[in-house]
Amino acid sequence: MIKVAIMGYGTIGSGVYEVLDTNREILAKAAGQELEVKYILDLRDFPGSLVEHKVVHDFNVILQDEEVKIVVETMGGLEPACSFVKSCLEAGKHVATSNKALVAAHGTELLSIAREKQVNFLFEASVGGGIPIIRPLYRCLTGEKIEEITGILNGTTNFILTKMDKEGASFERSLREAQALGYAERNPEADVEGHDTCRKIAILTAMVTGREVNYEEIPTEGITKITDTDFKYADALGTSIKLVGSSRMEGGRVHAWVAPLMIGKDHPLYAVSDVYNGILVKGNMVGTTMYYGSGAGKLPTASAVAADIVEAAKHMNSNIPIGWSCEKLAIAPGDDMVYRYFVRVSGNFEDRRDMVEAAFGKCRVAELEGLDEFAFLTGGMKQSRFMENMEILKVELNAEYQKVLQVIRAE
């Protein structure tokens, strides 16, 4: 029997306990022996609950108990999570975490300690909630040169954007609902400003390049500027708007970014709605593969942690060579990346047709009844070219740059 400790008995931690309890036999068979939760570390007591007698408040109880071989970190945040995980690894305990902030900020060091101590630092649940994505990257796609990863990586924002798109719901109401369902971060700014997606694409980029990624170098834009009017245009154009994180590896350079993306019905991520996440991984031999499932929430995320516990149990005496080295990856500027662009401009299209065409040539145009504005969708062009064309448009619009109401990257 393997003894496990869970640090942090919030939404995910209690979910891990529930998964271990509900699927006890399945997990025991997969791990080759039974898994038992010996301790739960939390500030609270949970009187009258199933776990009451397992609760400890002192981390050292877990650290000093040699019987505890696997520690789950579901506390969230950087401290004390990082110090606790480090101490566990140094003490020769395996660690499974759902904490993407921790993995993105300290993954390099924690992976290196795990290697040195011949234990495992596992983080399947840190990206895509219940979707298997970390393991496919280091097992199934191990013979591939990965050229692109593009994903809807945040359940909360996808839930909000879906509600705005399909129900015309307000941003605030949708966010409140996502919080009530346990999808959102404690501070939802991390979701809506794109920081959570940024950390996840940084982890995936580090996984496929084998090098450390500084997530602060990834240009990141959230969804707070997306409005119901944008969705009306998207509908008129047969498209939708999703928050994506993307990394493209081309000619030895890696471009990564996080931003809203307008996509058409034929895009594989178009149908990824609500709390679901979808991740496209393009390899040089296999072509495009896609991973889909619940990107947030108690049991889906806990299920991924449970799978990591089994992975650790099956590799009790060895380190699985996963992750990245301390060699740093430079994120290249995105000037060369080719995209289309959705642009909204105030005023009547017929009055401004020449100006738009002078800057961008013929574009697909949409007008909504009752609005003194229009939108156009450009053809594909390099980001640098788009910026130049926008300057031309600005001059044509008599330098009233504020007449440009919205710009969204499109594919």
Residues serving a catalytic function are: 200
**What residue number has its CB nearest to ligand HSE?**
156
Nearer to ligand HSE, 68 or 184 (CB): 184
Q: At 319, list the tokens.
A: 């380190």
Does 300 interact with ligand HSE (rule: CB under 6 A)?
Answer: no
To ligand HSE, the closest distance from the beta carbon of 178 in angstroms equals 7
Shortest gap between Cβ of 129 and ligand HSE (angstroms)? Answer: 5
String of contacts with ligand HSE for each residue 258-297, x by CB under 6 A = -------------------------------------xx-
Q: Which stretch binds ligand HSE (CB under 6 A): 148-156, 320-328, 343-351, 367-375?
A: 148-156
By CB under 6 A, is residue 129 in contact with ligand HSE? Answer: yes
Instruction: Please identify, using beta-carbon distances, which residue of 183 and 291 lies nearer to ligand HSE.
Output: 183
Residue 250, number of CB atoms within 10 A of its CB: 12
Q: How far is CA 318 from CA 6, 98, 360, 397, in A?
A: 22, 21, 58, 65
191 touches ligand HSE by CB under 6 A: yes
Q: Does 13 bind ligand HSE (CB under 6 A)?
A: no
User: Which whole-number Å values give the CA distances from 227 to 271, 344, 375, in the listed order?
Assistant: 20, 12, 14
As a whole number of angstroms, the distance between CA 200 and CA 104 comes to 7
Residue 11 touching ligand HSE (CB under 6 A): no
Specify the 3-state DSSP secondary structure of 227.
coil
* Part of the chain binding ligand HSE (CB under 6 A), chosen from 51-59, 182-190, 208-216, 402-410: 182-190
The number of residues that bind ligand HSE (CB under 6 A) is 11
Q: Rounded CA gap, 262 and 238, in Å?
A: 10
Task: Tell me which of 87, 99, 156, 174 binds ligand HSE, using CB under 6 A.
Answer: 156
> Is the link from the previous residue into 80 a cis peptide, with omega within 30 of 0?
yes
According to DSSP, the β-strands at 373-377 and 364-366 are antiparallel
| Among 14, 120, 154, 383, contact with ligand HSE (rule: CB under 6 A) | 154
Least distance (Å) between residue 174 CB and ligand HSE: 12
* Letter string b/e over residues 25-57, b meaning 16 or more CB atoms within 10 A of that residue's CB: eebbebbeeebebbbbbbeeeeeeeebeebbbe
Question: What's the min distance (Å) between Cβ of 6 and ligand HSE?
Answer: 18
Q: What ranges in 341-382 are assigned the alpha helix state H?
A: 349-360
- Please tell me the distance from the alpha carbon of residue 208 to that of residue 217, in angstroms, as a whole number: 17
CB of 191 to ligand HSE, least distance (A): 5
Q: Which two tokens stand for residue 122?
A: 């596992």
The SS3 call for residue 285 is coil
Between 128 and 334, CB nearer to ligand HSE: 128
Which of 124, 165, 185, 230 is in the footprint of ligand HSE by CB under 6 A? Answer: 185
Q: Which residues contact 126 (CB under 8 A, 6 or more apart)?
A: 97, 98, 99, 100, 102, 103, 134, 200, 203
Our finding on whether 194 is near ligand HSE (CB under 6 A) is no
Nearer to ligand HSE, 295 or 334 (CB): 295
Applying CB under 6 A, does 183 fall inside the site for ligand HSE? Answer: yes
Specify the 3-state DSSP secondary structure of 286.
coil
The CA R_g of the chain, rounded to the nearest whole Å, is: 23
Task: Using the minimum distance from each CB to ligand HSE, give the nearer residue, 130 or 334.
Answer: 130
Judged by CB, which is closer to ligand HSE: 192, or 381? Answer: 192
CA torsion 212→82→11→53, rounded to 10°?
A: 150
Stretch in the footprint of ligand HSE (CB under 6 A) among 24-32, 109-117, 184-192, 365-373: 184-192
Summarize as ranges the residues that interact with ligand HSE (CB under 6 A).
129, 154-156, 183-185, 191, 196, 295-296
